[in-house]
Amino acid sequence: RIQDSRSFSLSAARAILGRGRWGGDEGKEQLTLKDVAELLRKKECCRVVVMAGAGISTPSGIPDFRSPGSGLYSNLEQYDIPYPEAIFELGYFFVNPKPFFTLAKELYPGNYRPNSAHYFLRLLHDKGLLLRLYTQNIDGLERLAGIPPDKLVEAHGTFATATCTVCKRNFPGEDFRGDVMGDRIPRCPVCTGVVKPDIVFFGEELPQRFLLHLVDFPLADLLFVIGTSLEVEPFASLAGAVRSSVPRVLINRELVGPFAWQQRHNDVAQLGDVVGGVEKLVELLGWNNELQTLIQKEKEKVGRGSE
Residue 55 in marked binding region: yes
Residue 2 in marked binding region: no
- For 303, list phi and psi in degrees, rounded to 5: -60, -45
Residue 21 in marked binding region: no
Residue 252 in marked binding region: yes
Distance of CA 246 to the CA centre of its chain: 21
- Region at 231 (left for phi over 0; alpha for psi -120 to 50; beta for the rest): alpha
Contact between residue 197 and residue 140 where contact means Cβ atoms under 8 Å apart: no
Q: Of 125, 156, 213, 265, which residue is the catalytic one?
A: 156
Residue 54 in marked binding region: yes
Residue 56 in marked binding region: yes
Cα distances from 185 to residues 12, 33, 42, 122, in angstroms, run 46, 47, 52, 34
Residue 136 in marked binding region: yes
Residue 170 in marked binding region: no
Residue 64 in marked binding region: yes
Q: Is 118 a catalytic residue?
A: no
Distance of CA 161 to the CA centre of its chain: 18
Give long-range contacts, CB 8 A cutoff, 24+ apart: 272-276: 274/55, 274/56, 274/59, 274/117, 274/226, 274/227, 275/56, 275/59, 275/115, 275/116, 275/117
Residue 65 in marked binding region: yes
The binding site for Zn(2+) comprises 164, 167, 188, 191
**Binding site, residues?**
54-58, 64-66, 136-139, 164, 167, 188, 191, 228-229, 252-254
Which residues are the active-site residues? 156
Binding residues for NAD(+), by number, are 54-58, 64-66, 136-139, 228-229, 252-254
